[in-house]
Chains A and B, each alone.
Chain A
């Protein structure tokens, strides 16, 4: 049964609301500086930025307990920072340093932080959805009430792994919350060229015996509200929820994307509903922040991200001996001939 969210309600207090704004600004600033570093060839490989989608991670992860879990796809910087990862190890990972959140072996697409229940960024589309289901399975197996949040893009719902995992989650009533962050474009393929139906709530909800909901993911408070309902349901043993979060990414699929599949007008229109501006304005209206505290926040975040870059730049690279570390728990013998 899909439900459409319309009216935002106040579900966070002032302190949490301001933390969320700070997190969204941190993600935006982090990504902008990452783009700069990528262009300056400090960051290699593929780098997928989260600009424009900040409210989705912040509003949903903000409702988790410390002992809950989350897992996401390769556009993972935002989720890691929303879960409270220090930008220093995040930036160091982008620069491939040993102080990075994955020891310099994961890179942009493979952030991890075990101590915060962050089970990673995963770069094969849809491949982590069964993993999330397994984490939820383990929670239920142990009789705990922790939940697992799982994020993926609109491209991932066309993978078999998505349907296999949701079928078992629905059948076994596992405490998982599946978030499709629908930014309308799977790399360069618009939704209407990849999905037979445009209402994604019908692809992941009812077919697998779980409720689904659509939410305007430019509105952090609406995201939080729909997430809270799903969390309550999961903790109560009532099973998973499928959420379609309508969002828009402000940058290319990855840093190497010329974005010929959309127009400047599309982008200008989307930016009128920038999730950070919307949230800022709402907090100003509520009198929870003022212009001067906002300016101070932006300045602190700029300093924080610059400090992260400095930390990353000054951190050591992994040494040649690290090539063979952390492959197996048992002592590792390379199967080399000489």
Chain B
């Protein structure tokens, strides 16, 4: 199986879907002639031309709305945000128009659109350019929220997102673009709404997604050396959540730790933990623990920034908590 970088897997997904369907186009800042701020769209403008790969002015609200309007009449736009931090400028379009259109039109207009782009704390980008907004988007009925952690899922989920008839928030991570992995060739589709058991285990369930999958797997490896069998699940889709896979694991391990890089209060883990508690409280042998970003704006200073994020040490400490185990 070919080894591709996450960035190139995304590129391949767009290339294949644009070849397959003329209704698919890519629009955003610097996506065409510049080949993308993070080079995710490398070569696409050269191949497809200015009709289908379109540079925009710096008008996130405007071009997001243009994408939504074109989707209402049958096109399948991919709208790139240079970073999801900039989607805040377009949030009215995403939340009021894309998410609500099908409902408030009584099913007459759907919005098959993908909003994609980088996100996260990626090295001294400071408070305005490091946002992780998945919990905001996952809050809203009507949206699908997807966050791939691997190159294979970057390709497979993006292809599924482009083929989805509903608006998809597709959040990449800036630090994952160079991460390499095996990627199936051809029509590789990762289903939306399905989590992935990345590492099987029996003592504790570790739920995570996006970049923190890497840290979580490292923690699981360390725990294995200490005799703890951890099951690691990559959620992949945050809305709709794959409760079947989550509950099957929790019913097996009876213990759960949730690892994420967004803020704790009203974060994804808070919502996931609530759903587990409401459904299988009696099966739990310990309270669910969460490892999240620290509850502060994102600092510029490199050391302070690093201190925000989940680490192997923080994850192992929470696993020890739910196992009532001393390190």
Q: How near does chain A come to B72, taking the closest CB pair, in angstroms?
A: 6
B72 with A135: CB separation less than 8 A: yes
Interface residues of A in 115-151 (CB under 8 A from B): 119-120, 122, 124, 127-139, 141
Return the contact of B61 from the options A114, A161, A326 (Cβ within 8 A).
Answer: A161
The total number of A-B Cβ pairs within 8 Å is 164
> Which of the 9-residue segments B102-110, B120-128, B313-321 touches chain A?
B102-110
Pair B107/A103 contact, Cβ less than 8 Å: yes
- The answer to whether A338 has its CB under 8 Å from any CB of chain B is yes
Surface stretch bound by B, among A18-26, A51-59, A164-172, A184-192: A164-172
Chain A residues contacting B18 (CB-CB under 8 Å) are none
Out of A113, A122, A137, A160, which one reaches B70, CB within 8 Å? A137
Measured between beta carbons, the chain A residues less than 8 angstroms from B193 are 333
Chain A interface residues (CB < 8 Å from chain B): 69, 71, 100-106, 110, 112-114, 119-120, 122, 124, 127-139, 141, 160-161, 164-165, 167-168, 171, 325-330, 332-335, 337-338
Cβ–Cβ contact A168 & B57, under 8 A: yes
Task: Return chain A residues, CB-CB under 8 Å to B166.
Answer: 328-330
- Assess whether A124 is in contact with B72, with CB atoms less than 8 Å apart: no
Question: In the complex where A327-B142, A330-B166 touch, is A102 in contact with B108 (Cβ < 8 A)?
Answer: yes
Would A328 and B102 count as touching, CB distance under 8 A?
A: yes
Residue of chain B at shortest CB distance from A104: B106
CB atoms of A335 and B70 under 8 A apart:
no
Contacts of B109 in A (CB 8 A): 112, 114, 119-120
Number of residues from B at the complex interface, CB < 8 A: 53
Q: Chain B interface (Cβ within 8 Å of chain A)?
A: 25, 51, 56-57, 59, 61-75, 92-93, 96-97, 101-110, 112, 138, 141-142, 144, 164-166, 192-193, 239-241, 271, 274-275, 277-279
Is A133 touching B66 in the complex (CB atoms < 8 A)? yes
CB pair A329–B165 under 8 Å, yes or no, is yes
Q: Which residues of A contact B165 (CB under 8 A)?
A: 328-330
The answer to whether B68 and A165 touch across the interface, beta carbons within 8 angstroms, is no
- In the bound complex, what is the Cα–Cα distance between A138 and B106 (angstroms)? 23
Task: Chain B residues near A113: list those with CB within 8 A.
Answer: 108
Given the interface pairs A105-B104, A168-B63, A328-B144, the reply to whether A130 lies near B69 with Cβ below 8 Å is yes
A69 contact set on B, CB distance < 8 A: 73
Asked if residues B69 and A134 are in contact (CB atoms below 8 Å), the reply is yes
The CA of A129 and the CA of B96, in the complex, are separated in Å by 13
Q: Are B62 and A161 in contact (CB under 8 A)?
A: yes
Cα(A219)–Cα(B106), bound, Å:
35
Instruction: Check if A327 sits within 8 Å of B102, measured CB to CB.
Output: yes
Task: List 18 A-B pairs, Cβ < 8 Å.
Answer: A106-B106, A112-B106, A128-B65, A130-B62, A130-B64, A133-B62, A134-B70, A136-B69, A137-B66, A141-B70, A164-B63, A165-B62, A326-B103, A326-B105, A330-B144, A330-B164, A330-B165, A337-B277
